[in-house]
Amino acid sequence: MDEKLKVTANGQVITVSDQTEEKHIEIINTGLLRIYKKKNSEQLVKLHYEREQINIITQETNEGIYILFHDYRIRVKDGLHISIEKNGKEYFKEYDGDAVIYEMKKDFSLAELEGHKREETEVDFKTQINIALFDKEDKIYGLGDKAAQLNRRDYEYVSWNTDDPTAHNETYRSLYKSINYLLVNHHGSEYYGLFYPSSYKCIFNLGKYSDRFMYIGSEKGEYDYFLMLGEDPAQITKRYVSLVGNTLFVPRKMLGYHQSRWSYNAEEMEEIREKFKEYDLPIDYIHMDIDYMDAYKVYTVKKSEFPDLKSTAERFEKDGIGLITILDPGVKVEDGYEVYDHLKEMGGFATYQGEQYINQVWPGDSKYPNYFDEKTAGYITQITKDFIAENKVGGIWCDMNEPASFNGPLPDQVAFMGEDGVHYHDEVHNLYGEYMTRAVAKAFEEENKRPAVITRAAFATTSAFSTTWNGDNQSLWAHLEGSLAQVMTMNLCNFAVNGVDIGGFGNETTKELLVRWVEANLFSLFLRNHAAMNTRLQEPYAFDEETLRIYRKMLKLRYEFIPYLYDALEKAHRTGIPVQRPLFFDYPSDEETKQINDEVLIGDSLLFAPVVRQGETKRMVYLPQGTWIDYFTKKEYEGEQTYLIDMPLDSTGIFIKAGSVIPLYKNLLHIEKEKLDTLYLYIEKGGNGEYIHYEDDGESLDYQKGIYNRYKITRTSKEIAFETLEENYVSNYKEIVLLYGDRELKRPFCTEFVCEL
Ligand code: GLC
């Protein structure tokens, strides 16, 4: 062993050092390590630790230092490079070679004359964490909303929340969210997770310049990362979730259909209400974009348009429709405007060179609330609460919170005074959206309501406070196809309630594109049709009879699956297991599954494979191990094979695992508690199966006090047994209907029964 290497232990923090520096390895629990030279601050990035006492052995040998715990052996070599073996096999490795970054240096000015743009790639970092790639087959998943395929390998991304409405594609380095989490697959069935906990701008270069290493580079972040170790993606994801906080459990109504368009006025909203009724279309929310405000002043209502928003909201509510209003951070600079005056007076805005900082957003000159200051955040919570109560709105849609700015980017030194001192823009930028949603979510929680909050900008930890959508996509087939990988990746990163704008936001949709889009996003927990102003209309009835008929069929199908999706969300919230999963998540050693971007596992029983390409009326579907049954044709398929399946325009690919039990609701147009009195249990062909169904009030935080029911359904090919595991909520159910083959067995609801099939 090199005599210069030293090892000391302080509890579960092992410090290794050579003559120039030291590195620490903190073993937090059997599956969670933190490796750092200096920790990133946790004043604003708040993490949770499930500490566990671990038996650790350190050894000094001729080959380096060994640290043994559980099934792992960490080895530290010269240069303090760390590698980990699991059960004697290579599992993780910091790259110990020369990490040369390739730089393009040719003069680009001629190309610029024609309008070509080139983004400069940063190459010098204060911190660079180099991780070895073992093999050309290694896959790298994660990083949230990036517009790419599931496997992000060979690309470079930048964590810097960015508002850019041009057409996103796989070469876009930054989008609206910064979620510094990677799930890496190597050596066939091995997986580990890696989280970089800094809010500062950082680069993830995932093997773009070399097959041998990837790196995280940052100018201001520290050498500090978490490693999630485990047997499979599920275990690793659970460990990641325990660190960043469980995904938000939203009101059940949020799983309904949302209709939106930038520019709806009062009259158009009425028209939607009437048309959805007339056309027998399910709907739960209409979104009100910036046009409802007076001169885009947040927390105001344009009285000429909505003289009495409260009574409008009440009228809509009678028809089962909630209203969700948009909220931007930028506060219009205007003396005499109450919110502005109040924040100005209390020093609740960000400052720059001693003055309150001004940039431009929708209202023109605007200032940015300092959500990092408790008093300011408290004021935002209060006025949000008042706004909701006064206008009876059902949810808040937080936008432009990267934060967006029309007059150039905010300088790094814009200051946000917090309880513990000042934080500058370069540190808070990626957290700005999260802190806004924290303040807004609190407005619901203080009323014992689950937050109905949507945000565009997010950091890794935001999943505990808000739902998300993926910003301004366009009416492009590529964006429809890409939406599946985007939503699956957001789910891998713990954002269960996520979706994209159906039909596409920018640009003009077509009839076929709209139909395929609503089909492809059928199981996204956030399901919203939204479009930019002046684009072609894309409401379900905007085209012809056929479009309307298929759209209606799909929405009704979605509503049937609400209890199944709600169960999966509750499970995600409680355990960290995502709702919409890539196939490899459940079949981690099946090589075929590793790069399937257009099939999604939804919960534990369903595989979804929609048509996502123009003109296709059939598609190839790979089915993993097991027997799968086509939900529409009832045809049975054996797994580990690829099939060509017919999917005419009015059909999509839903496959149920043999032996599954799926709870359904029927005949719902709105998710209202009163109407959820009949529970349907769809019993698929096949042998044994088990399912846990969850029931609560769907809206309050009472579930946190244990006020819910949990039922277990066990089935064999001969009988079905229903039992109640937990019962603290007065059930809504009056009737149970078993759907088995062509049969419908109705029975009054009771908490325990056995029934022959
Ligand atoms: C942003 C949002 C979009 C919204 C528009 C107007 O572009 O991403 O959803 O409609 O602003 O508020």
| Pairing label, strands 735-740, 678-683 | parallel
> Which among 161, 297, 505, 526 is the best mutation to test ligand 1's pocket, defined by most ligand atoms within 8 Å of the CB?
505
Q: Which of 190, 373, 399, 695 is catalytic?
A: 399
Centroid of ligand 1 to alpha carbon of 686 (angstroms): 47
d(CA 381, CA 368): 15
Please report the pLDDT score of residue 222 as a whole number. 98
Half-sphere exposure of 641 (CA within 13 A, CB side): 10
d(CA 701, CA 451): 9
Mean pLDDT for the stretch of residues 121-136: 92
Sheet order of strands, 82-86 included? 57-61, 64-69, 72-76, 82-86, 89-93
CB burial readout 183-222, b (16+ within 10 A) else e = bbbbeeebbbbbbbbbbbbbbbbbbbbbeebbbbbbebbb
Sheet order of strands, 743-748 included? 661-664, 678-683, 735-740, 743-748
Cross-strand partners of 129: 216
What pLDDT band is residue 324 in, cutting at 50, 70 and 90?
Answer: very high
Please report the pLDDT score of residue 526 as a whole number. 98
Centroid of ligand 1 to alpha carbon of 298 (angstroms): 14
Torsion of CA 198, 203, 206, 211, to 10 degrees: -120
| Pairing label, strands 213-218, 498-499 | unpaired
pLDDT tens per residue, range 252-308: 999 999 999 999 999 999 999 999 999 999 999 999 999 999 999 999 999 999 999
Ligand 1 contacts (CB < 6 A) are 165, 262, 289-290, 326, 399, 456, 471-472, 530
Please report the pLDDT score of residue 3 as a whole number. 59
Cross-strand partners of 204: 157, 216
d(CA 374, CA 380): 10
Cβ atoms 604, 564 nearer than 8 A: no
φ/ψ (deg, to 5) at 674 = -60, -30
Residue among 173, 177, 170 at smallest CA distance from 203: 173
**Percent of the chain having pLDDT more than 70?**
100
pLDDT tens per residue, range 366-389: 999 999 999 999 999 999 999 999
Centroid of ligand 1 to alpha carbon of 165 (angstroms): 9
144 contact partners, CB below 8 Å, separation of at least 6: 175, 177, 178, 179, 181, 458, 460, 489, 490, 493, 495
pLDDT at 33 over 80: yes
Centroid of ligand 1 to alpha carbon of 512 (angstroms): 24
Ligand 1: which residue has its CA nearest to atom 5? 262
Ligand 1: which residue has its CA nearest to atom 10? 262
Quick check: is 472 catalytic?
yes
Rg (CA), the chain: 26
pLDDT at 99 over 90: no
Q: Which of 222, 284, 472, 699 is catalytic?
A: 472
d(CA 676, CA 684): 22
Please report the pLDDT score of residue 503 as a whole number. 98
pLDDT tens per residue, range 329-377: 999 999 999 999 999 999 999 999 999 999 999 999 999 999 999 999 9
Ligand 1: which residue has its CA nearest to atom 4? 262
Mean pLDDT for the stretch of residues 441-468: 98
How high is the mean pLDDT of the chain? 96
Look at the block and give the residue holding tokens 């028209």.
271
Mean pLDDT for the stretch of residues 546-561: 98
Please report the pLDDT score of residue 641 as a whole number. 98
Cβ atoms 292, 302 nearer than 8 A: yes
Please report the pLDDT score of residue 672 as a whole number. 85
Q: Which of 190, 402, 586, 684 is catalytic?
A: 402
How many whole angstroms from its chain centre is CA 720? 35
Q: Which two tokens stand for residue 276?
A: 């959805």
The one-letter amino acid at 81: H
Please report the pLDDT score of residue 106 as a whole number. 84
Q: Is the dihedral of CA 436, 455, 237, 37 positive or negative?
A: negative
User: In a 10 Å sphere around its CB, with 0-12 CB exposed, 13-18 middle and 19+ buried, how is residue 235 labelled?
Assistant: middle
Please report the pLDDT score of residue 148 as a whole number. 86
Q: Is 362 left (phi over 0), alpha (psi -120 to 50) or beta?
A: alpha
512 contact partners, CB below 8 Å, separation of at least 6: 614, 615, 649
Please report the pLDDT score of residue 675 as a whole number. 86
68 contact partners, CB below 8 Å, separation of at least 6: 56, 57, 58, 59, 74
CB burial readout 557-577, b (16+ within 10 A) else e = bbbbbbbbbbbbbbbbbeebb
Centroid of ligand 1 to alpha carbon of 399 (angstroms): 7
pLDDT at 674 over 90: no
Q: Is the dihedral of CA 173, 177, 183, 185 positive or negative?
A: negative
Cross-strand partners of 693: 711
Closest atom of ligand 1 to CA, residue 533? 10
Residue among 88, 30, 465, 14 at smallest CA distance from 238: 30
pLDDT at 650 over 70: yes
Please report the pLDDT score of residue 103 as a whole number. 74
Quick check: is 402 catalytic?
yes
Q: Which two tokens stand for residue 420?
A: 């513990």
